[in-house]
Chain A
Amino acid sequence: MTGDFRPERVLEKALARCQAAEVFHRRSVRTPVEFENNRLKQVRTAYSDGLALRVIAAGRVGFSTTTKPGDEEGLVDRALSAAAGGGEARFSFPGPSRLAVDADRFHHAEVAELGLAAMIETGRDFLQRTVAVEPAALAGARLEKEVREVRIVNSSGLDLTYRRTGFMAGFGIELIEGENLLNVWEFRASSDYPAAEIAELQENALEQFRLGRKNVALTTGRYPVILAPHAGRDLLGPFRDCLNGQAVERGISPWGNRLGETLFDPAVHLEDNPLLAGGPLSAPFDDEGWPAQPSPLVRAGMLEGFYLDLKSAAGLGRTSTGNGTRPGLESIPSPSLSNVLMAPGQDSYLDLIGGIKLGLFVVHLMGAWAGNLLAGEVNGNVVLGYRIEDGAIVGRVKDCMLSVNAFDALNRGLRGLSRETGWSMNYRLPYIALDDVAISTKA
């Protein structure tokens, strides 16, 4: 087709004017199907196609992106003029290397070929199941598929391409009784089509809905708490920020000089694994062309490693861990986690609940991202949580805040981890049971 972006041509043009360059080309087609308020609302198709150019000229970095056909000259001009005032380049672009998996390992035909009719049917199923349980409830659903193609070429001779698929299913229910709003939702992202889990996901949403129908009180105090995987992801927010190579390089992570120290309970194992089959962020190489590899972060409570991109790795005198990520096309690469896996424990989560005399089971926190994460502080509204009494869930607790220091919680405060795991976005976690968590509620 005329006017298509040609990364190798952009590289050639850039290299006529500077020593080193990297061109990133991403094309995708995304198809979301959206249900709201008990009916199908909208079907969308989003085509996107764009280039990002990073250059090193006279030892300085310049960056620019475009989604405008015919803008290749402009792209090169802008990147080079940015480099004139850009930051010092202390890294170099990687050369060709062997990938651990086939380039198209995470391209799944069952997602690419998933039909609109099937997606609509899945959403409609959930609406019908919800209305059967409670006619006054409002159900929503979102099914989405994406096919993406990425190519990276650079001046070190790298020329890599992969295709991958993405799938997302989300189901939610809202019920209003008087001035009481109950919202429950479940979602799952993957690169394959997790057929067996979709009914389970719907069932989980309906189960949360049943559990949340009755409100009960809890007084301000310290309680044992169980965090379901969605809330567990909030607890790991400080880990995400403090293990980030950029934070280590800047000297603001509390763990910069503590590799090899046992900072957490021996039951705590955390790993980043971009090669996980079906993982929501699985890819054969990162957005800088570095081969994907599993990275241990915490092993048996010991701080094992940080996650790095080219720049932070160079700053720390290490090599990249393959975590150079572009959250959007227009973002310069920075370190970001792929599939985060926390190892499960021995107990069933029902046994963890069963062992609590009086406590809180937290499904979703809200606003916990806004705390002082570098200090480990997690503060969130318990937007969906239940009171545990004598080992059983007895009703929903509203209008309360959970405050916990994540570093203490996964050390002295860890009560147990479930053997079951669940996904929350790109995190796969067990249920996490903690002791002595501060809960603030209405007087």
Chain B
Amino acid sequence: MFRASALAASWTLLIFAFMYFPVAVILIFSLNDSEIIAFPLQGLTLRWYESVVSDGRLGGGFATTLMVAFPAAILSTFLGALAALALTRYEMKMKLKLVFAILLLLPFLIPKLILAVAQLILLSELGVARNLVTVTLGQVIVILPFTTLVVASVLVRIDRRLEEAAVDLGASAWSVFRRVTLPLMRNGLVAAMFIAFVLSSSEVVLTTFLSGRAQPLSLLVASDFRFAISPALNALAVLIVTGNIALVLVGEAIRRRSERGTG
């Protein structure tokens, strides 16, 4: 038994190393003082990061990303919260609930490219020009399953008796929500918003099809990432990864805190 455990532990370590290997490689070579991405390492430098930061083209893309990611995060979190509340908190007919849950899963299960072209056809049929609004809406639909899951994971841990206790003490359905459910799910909402922001800012497939002239960062760097290799790109990739991971970890920490609070 001990041997099986030790084997599984080493295997898990190996797999986790595999999962972080690409991140580690780009991190190491983004700090390596050489044009050539190869061992042996040539010494430490920050010049690749300097070149990224001083690239004005990326700044504009970053602003566009924010203009898409903020509304997308807020909207998808709001809708995800409604969906999670409906699924976990309030009464719904069982059959209706199942249909609703499958509907929510569809954008996750359908290949993104198919969803993107379908939305493209619809837009062209309706004669709607592609712009930041169409990207935002397109992204909201693929992010929605994730925000729903994050909010629901917090909601299922809230003891139903807390809401019953509020009712028992005279609170109306709205008061129960405002004074008990909402404060207890607030951390879940924040976590969902962080994750939605990350998913939105790194989404490329839908964004390619639905954005108009204004291009967010993910598209600006996509062609570089596709075809070029350079230490500066390493640095850019590291910045993006760090930003994303930091946001996800902060969100996760906030969600965890809510678990402890209701435990």
Tell me whether A and B are bound partners.
no
Which A positions have Cβ atoms within 8 angstroms of B? none
Which B positions have Cβ atoms within 8 angstroms of A? none
